[in-house]
Structure formats: C-alpha cells, structure tokens
Amino acid sequence: MNEELDKLVSLMRNARHVVVFTGAGISTESGIPDFRGPGGVWEKFDPNEFHIDRFLASAASRRMYWLRSEAMYAQMTQARPNAGHKAIADMERLGILSAVITQNVDGLHQDAGVSPGRVVELHGTARHVACLSCGRRMTREEFQPLLSPEGDAPPCTCGGLMKPATISFGQMLPPEALERAGAATADCDLFLVIGSSLVVYPAAGFPLLAVERGAPLAIINHQETPQDAVATVVLRGSSGQVLPTVVGALAPGVQAAPFSRPT
C-alpha cells in the first residue's frame, strides 16, 4: 500500500460513523457517462433544455424533455453496480457506514446492497416520476409504457404535470434530503468523498461542514478538487480499485453480497 492508502485504512479503522459522498465518478465505472466530462450528456444536449422553466413552458418543450430523458434512462437501466458501490455496501455490513449522500440519480447504491434508508439522493432519482402539483409518484418502469413515441406524457390523476423525479436546473433540492445530509454530516467521524468534482453547491458544502465540525476528510477522485487542500487524505484513482483494497484491509476476506437487481 502507498502512504495515502495506509492513512485512509487507519482513518476508517478508527471510524464508527462514516459518511460517504458520491458523485458521477463512481457511476462512470458502471458505464454511465459523467454529465460534464468528455462524451458526457452536456456535449450532446444543451443543459438549458433541462431547466424547469423550459419543462413548464409548453407541451412541445416537454416532449423534447421526455425524449432526451428517455435516452438517458435507457442507458441507466443497463448499468450495474461496480466494485466501488459494492465496497460501500460492505462498509455498512461492517457497521461503520452512517449514510451515503449521493449526487447521482441512478439508484446503484441501493442495487449494490446499501439500505435505502441510508441513501440520501440530493438530486432525486431517475427511477421514479412525480407530479409537480400533488407529489404523486410512480416508478419510471410503470410510467414508461404510458409515454407516446413522440414524447407526450399523460397527466397525473389530479391533472398536474408528471416529470422525472430528478432535480432539474432551477429546481430546489429536496429540503428533507438536505436536512438528512446535514444531520449525518454533523455527526460523522469521517467524511469520504468519491468521484465528485466538488464544484456543485449546495452539495459540495457538506465536506466543508464535516471539516468544520472536526471530522477528517478523505477524497478519492481522478482529478484535483477545490477541497484537496483541506483534506486529510487525497487519493487519485477509481473507487473500484481503491475501496475494495481499503475494505479488505479492514476485514480480510470480506466478500460483497451477491448482486441481484430488485424487481
């Protein structure tokens, strides 16, 4: 092991309330492109097309929104948890994981075996649709057959507009998710960032809150982040390589639970 990896193992060995914060980097290892990276969604689509005001503007703009969303959803349905996701689930089985705060909308943490109650989805989920008026939810799998080939979506039973339950530009992050993330961060004794550029706020404020409260900050990411300077440990690499090594050092011989996609 290198020095930084040894440091991370030591921090995790002494931790009892680890908060893991994940960004797009962990999901790219499962084949889901980073929105901002090369070949990502924003190279194919104008981000303004995903603004909530555009969705609300007209039936034509909503059709375009649904067609673009459908293309991304189809890609996500093919993705499976990778070794990094499974190592985080192993951390829960070892009894040291308090919460996973994620910027991702793909549900892969739950697929890997992390208890849904421990996952805080800051930017919503692509696996559900929700009514903008009454809040009624359906799974995307149930709703998908109701979309027309042209992208027309039926209204909610209350007459409101149905929309993917992801947070669009211009939408507020869910207050309940922010509250849960803040509480977990305030109580953690190690904050571990994985695959996030740490440039999107308010999400990127949670690692700084952890440091402010006295918890060590560890970052695993391929590129530099604005918060490297305040981190106790910084590792360059992929979660699928680093995390299994760390978890294996904590509990030699630990095996990820067999994966089966929820029905």
Q: How many CB atoms lie within 10 A of CB 246?
A: 24
What is the C-alpha end-to-end distance of the chain, expressed in Å? Answer: 39
Are 101 and 19 in contact by the 8 Å Cβ rule? The answer is: yes
User: Any idea what the Cα angle at residue 101 is, between residues 235 and 156, rounded to 5°?
Assistant: 140
Q: State the pairing for strand pair 97-102/119-121.
A: parallel
Q: How far apart are CA 197 and CA 229, in angstroms?
A: 14
Q: How far apart are CA 262 and CA 8, in angstroms?
A: 32
* Catalytic residue positions, numbered: 123
Q: How many CB atoms lie within 10 A of CB 173?
A: 15
